[in-house]
């Protein structure tokens, strides 16, 4: 396999899908060497079968808004690969959603899920519906209409969706309710459910906490930890909030948070009480981050910008893809950042990744660092299957140990001759090998 040839062919067959091409290129360029050690893989054309999703469902979602207008959105589910378990991956509701974005996310998810060591394949879905500015009733009607199509393609042993951008506990609850009504079955078909109906403790916290557990493992390799370290966090949604919470618990200082309108910089640090304010603002009132700066004196709000120009020890991108470009990365490095650990999926552009790696700073790609979310989703599936609920401590311990194992796998496959750990290569090779072996064993299907 020659990575560039495979990529060119994919670009020819699936044009106008830049995010999908970007994710595939990153993986192929790092697994090429390992792949070529196994001529049997190439004979079975494993690489194309791994890059092209098993199937994609695409449908129209029609719903009625509060004013009685009939609205349409597009709905999708990309079932990428189920060699090691049922398809598993979140649902994203955001105006920017398109097939390229969902294909990149489903592709990444396949390797991430493999890394967790849990039996989960990769998938992703969503809609170009944006919950922003919609009433509760509108969100409910949309979720119900979306599930009216999706339900026939998913199931607890087939495909188990979860949340992602724009899909939190509220949306998962509405979708679960409709699935249950349609199938007359109470099952673990979605994860991220409410705690009263099959949800797992620590699931809301899992992605953010997991990212910090991973970061701590990386810092340990440099003989340090988070105490007294300053952190830049982007986003103020689920991942960002619990990333901030864990940073505070570990003795770090959170300087920034953001949303799609801009970022806030608090030189005093966003402490526990201030984080509670953000959680209430975002989760209860669905407000804007700008209001934080209006509420607390001495806080700077920068409209239409991302926080990467600020000086700090650690960067924790937790909003969306391609939110750190080459210039941002150079600025971060010039300001002395020592670690970047990705809560979001693919937040750094390929150029930004090169800048971090050339500077030899600790850099963890999302598929390793944010795998805590899907890991606890996997634990939620297990609890649903055995009809038991584990305690907070039990789930948190399991999460910690999974993140530690992922870190070890990255070090094993990603350590370069000079001792620098290329976490991108480590995560890709470790994730790839397991899926590849399972696919080989299962024949040409």
- How far apart are the C-alpha atoms of 209 and 226, rounded to whole Å? 13
Q: Which stretch binds ligand NDP (CB under 6 A): 256-264, 271-279, 414-422, 437-445?
A: 256-264
Q: Is 287 exposed, middle or buried (0-12, 13-18, 19+ CB in 10 A)?
A: middle
Q: Which is nearer to ligand NDP, 395 or 436 (CB)?
A: 395
* Residue choice 373, 414, 426, 431 for contact with ligand NDP (CB under 6 A): 373
Q: Which stretch binds ligand NDP (CB under 6 A): 2-10, 11-19, 253-261, 329-337?
A: 253-261
Rounded to a whole number of angstroms, the minimum distance from the CB of residue 372 to ligand NDP is: 8
In this structure, what token pair is assigned to residue 366?
């999302």
The 208-247 contact track toward ligand NDP, x by CB under 6 A, reads ---------------------------xxxxxx-------
Rounded to a whole number of angstroms, the minimum distance from the CB of residue 22 to ligand NDP is: 14
Positions in 79-98 near ligand NDP (CB under 6 A): 94
Q: Which residues contact 299 (CB under 8 A, 6 or more apart)?
A: 264, 265, 266, 292, 293
* Residue choice 53, 121, 166, 252 for contact with ligand NDP (CB under 6 A): 166
* Residue choice 3, 278, 293, 344 for contact with ligand NDP (CB under 6 A): 344
Q: Which is nearer to ligand NDP, 41 or 321 (CB)?
A: 321
Does residue number 378 form part of the binding site for ligand NDP (CB under 6 A)? no
* Residue choice 345, 383, 384, 422 for contact with ligand NDP (CB under 6 A): 345
* Residue choice 115, 118, 165, 219 for contact with ligand NDP (CB under 6 A): 165
Rounded to a whole number of angstroms, the minimum distance from the CB of residue 297 to ligand NDP is: 23
Does residue number 198 form part of the binding site for ligand NDP (CB under 6 A)? no
Q: Which is nearer to ligand NDP, 86 or 204 (CB)?
A: 204
Side-chain half-sphere CA neighbours of 434 within 13 A: 24
- How far apart are the C-alpha atoms of 265 and 301, rounded to whole Å? 6
Q: Which is nearer to ligand NDP, 78 or 436 (CB)?
A: 78
Cβ(355)–Cβ(335) below 8 Å = no
Does residue number 109 form part of the binding site for ligand NDP (CB under 6 A)? no
The backbone region for 304, taken as left when phi is positive above 0, alpha when psi lies in -120 to 50, beta otherwise, is left
Helices 423-441 and 99-115: angle between axes, nearest 10 degrees? 90
Closest of 356, 320, 321, 318 to residue 339, by C-alpha: 356
The 317-336 contact track toward ligand NDP, x by CB under 6 A, reads -xxx----------------
Rounded to a whole number of angstroms, the minimum distance from the CB of residue 129 to ligand NDP is: 13
Rounded to a whole number of angstroms, the minimum distance from the CB of residue 110 to ligand NDP is: 14
Q: Which is nearer to ligand NDP, 123 or 343 (CB)?
A: 343
Does residue number 164 form part of the binding site for ligand NDP (CB under 6 A)? yes
- How far apart are the C-alpha atoms of 342 and 368, rounded to whole Å? 8
Query: Which backbone phi and psi does 300 adopt, to 5 degrees?
Result: -95, 135
Closest of 208, 426, 425, 225 to residue 316, by C-alpha: 208
Q: Which is nearer to ligand NDP, 47 or 206 (CB)?
A: 206
Rounded to a whole number of angstroms, the minimum distance from the CB of residue 388 to ligand NDP is: 22
Which residues are part of the catalytic machinery? 124
Q: Which is nearer to ligand NDP, 75 or 365 (CB)?
A: 365
Which residue's Cβ has the minimum distance to ligand NDP? 237
Q: How many residues bind to ligand NDP according to rule CB under 6 A?
A: 24
Does residue number 427 form part of the binding site for ligand NDP (CB under 6 A)? no
Question: Can you say whether the dihedral through the CA atoms of 37, 38, 42, 47 is positive or negative?
Answer: negative
Q: Which is nearer to ligand NDP, 316 or 361 (CB)?
A: 316
The 31-70 contact track toward ligand NDP, x by CB under 6 A, reads ----------------------------------------
Residues that bind ligand NDP (CB under 6 A): 94, 163-166, 168, 207, 235-240, 259-261, 318-320, 343-345, 370, 373
């Amino acid at each position: 396999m020659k990575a560039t040839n495979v990529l060119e062919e994919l670009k020819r067959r699936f044009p106008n899908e830049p995010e999908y091409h970007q994710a595939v290129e990153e993986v192929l360029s790092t697994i090429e060497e390992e792949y070529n050690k196994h001529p049997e893989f190439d004979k079975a054309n494993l690489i194309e079968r791994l890059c092209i999703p098993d199937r994609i469902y695409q449908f129209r979602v029609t719903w009625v808004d509060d004013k009685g207008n009939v609205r349409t959105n597009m709905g999708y589910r990309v079932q990428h690969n189920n060699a090691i378990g049922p398809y598993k991956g979140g649902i994203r509701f955001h105006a920017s959603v398109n097939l390229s974005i969902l294909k990149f996310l489903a592709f990444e998810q396949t390797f991430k899920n493999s890394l967790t060591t849990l039996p989960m394949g990769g998938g992703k879905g969503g809609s170009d519906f944006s919950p922003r500015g919609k009433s509760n009733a509108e969100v409910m009607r949309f979720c119900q209409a979306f599930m009216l199509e999706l339900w026939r393609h998913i199931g607890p042993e087939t495909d188990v969706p979860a949340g992602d951008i724009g899909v939190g506990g509220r949306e998962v609850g509405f979708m679960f309710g409709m699935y249950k009504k349609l199938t007359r079955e109470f099952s673990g078909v979605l994860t991220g459910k409410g705690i009263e109906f099959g949800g797992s403790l620590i699931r809301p916290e899992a992605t953010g906490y997991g990212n910090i557990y991973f970061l701590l493992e990386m810092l340990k390799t440099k003989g340090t930890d988070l105490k007294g370290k300053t952190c830049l966090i982007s986003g103020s949604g689920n991942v960002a909030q619990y990333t901030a919470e864990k940073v505070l618990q570990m003795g770090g200082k959170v300087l920034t948070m953001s949303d799609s309108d801009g970022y806030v910089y608090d030189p005093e640090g966003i402490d526990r009480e201030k984080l509670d304010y953000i959680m209430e603002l975002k989760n209860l009132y669905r407000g804007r981050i700008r209001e934080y700066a209006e509420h607390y004196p001495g806080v700077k709000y920068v409209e239409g910008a991302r926080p990467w120009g600020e000086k700090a020890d650690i960067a924790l991108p937790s909003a969306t893809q391609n939110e750190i470009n080459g210039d941002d990365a150079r600025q971060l490095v010039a300001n002395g950042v020592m670690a970047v650990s990705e809560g979001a999926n693919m937040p750094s552009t390929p150029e930004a990744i090169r800048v971090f790696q050339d500077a030899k700073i600790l850099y963890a790609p999302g598929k390793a660092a944010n795998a805590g979310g899907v890991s606890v989703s996997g634990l939620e599936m297990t609890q649903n299957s055995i009809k038991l609920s584990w305690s907070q401590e039990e789930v948190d311990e399991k999460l910690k140990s999974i993140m530690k194992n992922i870190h070890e796998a990255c070090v094993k496959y990603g350590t370069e001759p000079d001792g620098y750990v290329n976490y991108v290569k480590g995560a890709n090779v470790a994730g790839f090998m397991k899926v590849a072996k399972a696919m080989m064993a299962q024949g040409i299907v």
